[in-house]
Amino acid sequence: MLFQEIKRCNHLIKEYKGQQITEQDTKNAIIEPILASLGWPKQDLTRVRAEYRHTAGDNPVDYALFDEGTPQVFLEAKALDKDLDDRKSTLQTIHYANAANVEWALLTNGARWILYAVFERRDLAERKVFDVTLDDPNVEDWLGLILPARVKEGRLRRVRALLSAEAQVHATLRTLIDARDDGLIELLAKRTGLESSAIATALGALKVHVERAALREVVRVADRASAEARAPQAAPPASSPSLSAASAAPTGRALGVPPVGIKPKRLWLNNQSWEVNSWKDLLIKGLEAIARQKPTDFDHLFDTSTFKGRRRLHLSRDSDGMISPKPVNGGYVESNQSAASIIILMNRVLSKIAPEISARWE
């Protein structure tokens, strides 16, 4: 599980930082385990090739991450104490990737991870998709951008484009609001019927509330767009509870909160659906399906206190304190929850261990 691996590696970094451990030790102890927890295990030669040369005359790149026989990401590894801000070395890696028609270049010394968009023709700093350290509270979300499911089929490209657009729109809005832009005031006056002076005063109060979108929200929107772009007009129902069945995919990234009084009839996870007769039934069948897809990661959920309601744990290895516990793959889930709470719990589980799974109910 990524969370556990990051936690372990952070302990190692604190212990060995400044002790000049070698690049190979950094690879063995930190970089390769992180890659494996992201779905890029070194042992799978269809996914990961070490010391990869695109052509015989090329210098090798430390790792090439593959999808269906095509390299998607070049990763250059450095020793733990090595600085990653060497422009010459970074450009060299990006040039290697560009020559091999590889869209993404990843640099890391184990503690810090930087992803570059290779094909963009902008300044090096502006090509960064992310620049994050393992002790960053949002590191799981950032590294989750390079999950195999996101890298393939252009999904990471969609996330990158939306992140870039969101940053530009946010910066522009802040500038317009801070400057009390005349054009913006005129537009708002037409739409609201308010006096220009009142709008200018309101903008002064509003500017502190115009914040950047959370990464997870940006990724959710981009993933939904990807799912909708891939989805056919209609999706036939299936009968086997397997997440790998090859049938039409539903649209939607996360489960939507239901209107009051509505009951679900079917749950979709990726290409598979199940008939359900209540929100409790949706919760149990959904968690069981996710557990079959991600058994190890799902099992680790019971070892955290993340899934806690106001008064009690919603996922636990034992049923103590639960009102209506239901067994689910190695533990228990509290089934005595409102429809909205069930949806929130399901979305948190998906976001935590299976962000590549698109979900919806009907």
3-state secondary structure of 305: coil
User: Is residue 50 within a helix (H) or strand (E), and if so which, with residue range?
Assistant: strand 48-52
Q: How confident is the model at residue 65 (pLDDT cuts 50, 70, 90)?
A: very high
Q: Are 332 and 295 in contact (CB under 8 A)?
A: no
Give the pLDDT of residue 43.
93
273, 253, 283: which is closest to 356 by C-alpha?
253
Q: 11: number of CA atoms within 13 Å, CB side?
A: 5
Each residue's pLDDT tens digit, 187-201: 989 888 889 989 888
The count of residues in the chain is 362
- For residue 306, what pLDDT band results from cuts at 50, 70 and 90? low
The one-letter code for the residue type at 282 is: L
Residue 327 pairs in a beta bridge with 332
In the prediction, which pLDDT does 177 show? 86
Residue 44 has pLDDT above 80, yes or no: yes
Listed range (86-90, 122-126, 237-241, 329-333) with the worst mean pLDDT: 237-241
pLDDT per residue over 152-190, tens digit each?
Answer: 767 888 888 888 888 888 888 888 888 888 998 999 898
CB 342 within 8 A of CB 333: no
pLDDT (0 to 100) of residue 76: 97
Q: Report whether pLDDT(260) > 60.
A: no
Give me the mean pLDDT over the 90-94 stretch. Answer: 92
Q: Which of 234, 350, 223 lies closest to 294 in space, CA to CA?
A: 350
Q: Sorting pLDDT into bands at 50, 70 and 90, what band is 239?
A: very low
Q: Domains in the chain and their CATH numbers?
A: 2-146 (3.90.1570.30), 156-215 (no CATH), 237-361 (no CATH)
What share of the chain has pLDDT > 90, as a percent?
37
pLDDT at 134 over 90: yes
Biggest CA–CA distance in the chain, Å, is 70
CA–CA separation, 63 and 155 (whole Å): 21
Residue type, 284: I
The confidence score (pLDDT) of residue 77 equals 97
Average pLDDT, the chain: 84
Instruction: Report the SS3 class of residue 137.
Output: coil
**CA dist., res. 130 & res. 171, Å (int):** 18
Residue 247 has pLDDT above 60, yes or no: no
Q: What is the pLDDT of residues 138-157, one digit of tens each?
A: 899 899 999 998 887 678 88
Which pLDDT value is given to residue 308?
Answer: 63
pTM of the model: 0.60
Residue 81: the pLDDT is 93
Residue 117 to residues 50, 162, 239, Cα–Cα distance (Å):
21, 13, 41
User: Could you tell me which of 294, 257, 290 has the C-alpha nearest to residue 274?
Assistant: 290
Provide the pLDDT for residue 231: 55
Given this model, what pLDDT does residue 250 score? 37
Give the Cα-Cα-Cα angle 313, 315, 318 (nearest 5 degrees): 85
Q: pLDDT for 189-232, tens place per residue?
A: 988 888 998 988 888 877 656 677 777 777 777 777 666 665 55
Give the pLDDT score at 241: 40
